[in-house]
């Protein structure tokens, strides 16, 4: 009967093949469209929350009035109005203010993890481990210097591996080796258990940073396929920045080149291994920065005119903000706002600390502005 119908309609085998292929293409397009709609719907609520919280203190129109006011109390009020908890009884001590701002920042990162869709949750969890690393390094240096235990306890913030119990134990530790033993009860055992550590803090810093990087790298592959490409792009550019920071520090401090080569991260998006090797072989920082000509980082020589550590860090933070803003513009309905929130809040914390210190010390407005990393300047 089907044959009779085909004969009656005058359809040939060739036409049937064309029709079948066309139907298959339509089905595939509909499936792709459906997956896109599902991804967008999964990010709709989280992205609305990220936009509501905002990253206001990297915006010129928000920050300029604060700087011009030169009023520290007004600054605190604006900070509170924009979602930060800052008890009045702590505002008399700038160190407590900075700690409270940092505590709020960690809270925002934890909230990003809770809000993140399943597609990107592994990456946000790994991003949080970077904060654990920061706390671990802070504890190790504080204890090695024989700092006050109560001060350490107030300076450490519970994140993921570094929880309240670990903080209590660290603040009670009597020496560096005891502190490292305590940290071995966390994920950091993979790093700290490799050997007996002395007071070579640079090597320990690099090992811990590399651990955090490896967690992020593995997390990228666990991101759902629909979001993996933009996350992978961001991570590749982020890797370039980490390698650049490491190489610049190595050249500046004249650290052994073979040691530095062992700790270079895998090639990122732009800076190839040979380019980084040439930078390491440079006699001084100026010569190393020349090697960046022809890359997206070539204007560092102009922007970081004095080549001070602060100016270089500021330049690289600005590059990270530019990179994540690019991803944001391309992935505005899916993973873009999440990545922008993670990076933007970190840079916002940096700016808030500078604003607090600058206003407290009565610095001139232009001097404060030059220290800030802003997205629209």
pLDDT band for 356, please (50, 70, 90 cuts): very high
The backbone torsions φ and ψ at residue 128, rounded to the nearest 5 degrees and listed phi first, read: -65, -30
Residues 86-135: tens digit of each pLDDT: 999 999 999 999 999 999 999 999 999 999 999 999 999 999 999 999 99
Answer whether residue 293 shows pLDDT above 70: yes
Exposed e or buried b per residue across 137-170, where buried means at least 16 C-beta atoms within 10 angstroms of its C-beta: ebbbbbbbeeeeeeebeebbbbbbbbeeebbeeb
What angle do the packed helices 121-144 and 176-183 form, to 10 degrees?
A: 160
Contact 162, 103 (CB under 8 A): no
Answer whether residue 34 shows pLDDT above 50: no
The kind and range of the H/E element at 131 are: helix 121-144
pLDDT of residue 4: 56
pTM of the shown model: 0.88
161 contact partners, CB below 8 Å, separation of at least 6 = 129, 132, 136, 186, 187, 188
Residues 129-164: tens digit of each pLDDT: 999 999 999 999 898 888 899 999 999 999 999 999
Region 265-273 average pLDDT: 93
The one-character DSSP state at 93 is: -
């Amino acid at each position: 009967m089907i044959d009779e119908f085909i004969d009656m309609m005058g359809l040939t085998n060739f036409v049937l093949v064309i029709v079948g292929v066309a139907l298959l293409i339509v089905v595939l397009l509909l499936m792709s469209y459906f997956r896109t709609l599902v991804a967008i719907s999964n990010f709709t609520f989280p992205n609305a929350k990220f936009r509501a919280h905002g990253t206001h203190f990297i915006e010129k129109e928000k920050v300029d009035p604060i700087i011009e006011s030169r009023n520290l109390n007004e600054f605190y009020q604006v900070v509170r109005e924009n979602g930060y908890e800052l008890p009045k009884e702590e505002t008399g001590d700038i160190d407590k203010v900075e700690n409270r701002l940092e505590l709020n920042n960690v809270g925002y990162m934890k909230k990003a993890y809770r809000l993140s869709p399943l597609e990107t949750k592994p990456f946000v969890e790994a991003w949080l481990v970077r904060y654990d690393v920061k706390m671990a390094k802070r504890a190790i240096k504080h204890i090695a210097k024989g700092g006050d235990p109560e001060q350490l306890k107030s300076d450490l913030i519970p994140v993921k591996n570094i929880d309240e119990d670990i903080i209590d134990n660290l603040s009670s530790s009597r020496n560096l080796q005891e502190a490292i033993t305590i940290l071995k009860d966390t994920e950091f055992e993979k790093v700290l258990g490799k050997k007996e550590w002395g007071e070579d803090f640079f090597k320990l810093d690099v090992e811990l940073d590399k651990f955090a990087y490896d967690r992020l790298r593995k997390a990228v592959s666990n991101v759902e396929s629909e979001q993996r490409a933009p996350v992978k792009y961001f991570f590749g550019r982020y890797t370039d920045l980490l390698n650049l920071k490491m190489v610049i520090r190595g050249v500046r401090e004249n650290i052994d080149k073979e040691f530095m080569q062992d700790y270079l991260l895998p090639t990122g998006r732009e800076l190839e291994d040979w380019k980084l090797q040439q930078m390491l072989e440079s006699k001084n920082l100026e010569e190393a920065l020349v090697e960046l000509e022809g890359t997206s980082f070539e204007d560092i020589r102009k922007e970081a005119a004095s080549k001070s550590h602060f100016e270089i860090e500021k330049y690289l933070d600005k590059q990270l903000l530019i990179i994540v803003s690019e991803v944001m513009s391309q992935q505005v309905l899916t993973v873009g706002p999440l990545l922008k929130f993670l990076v933007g809040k970190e840079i916002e914390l940096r700016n808030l600390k500078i604003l607090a210190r600058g206003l407290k010390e009565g610095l001139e407005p232009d001097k404060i502005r030059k220290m800030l990393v802003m997205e629209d300047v």
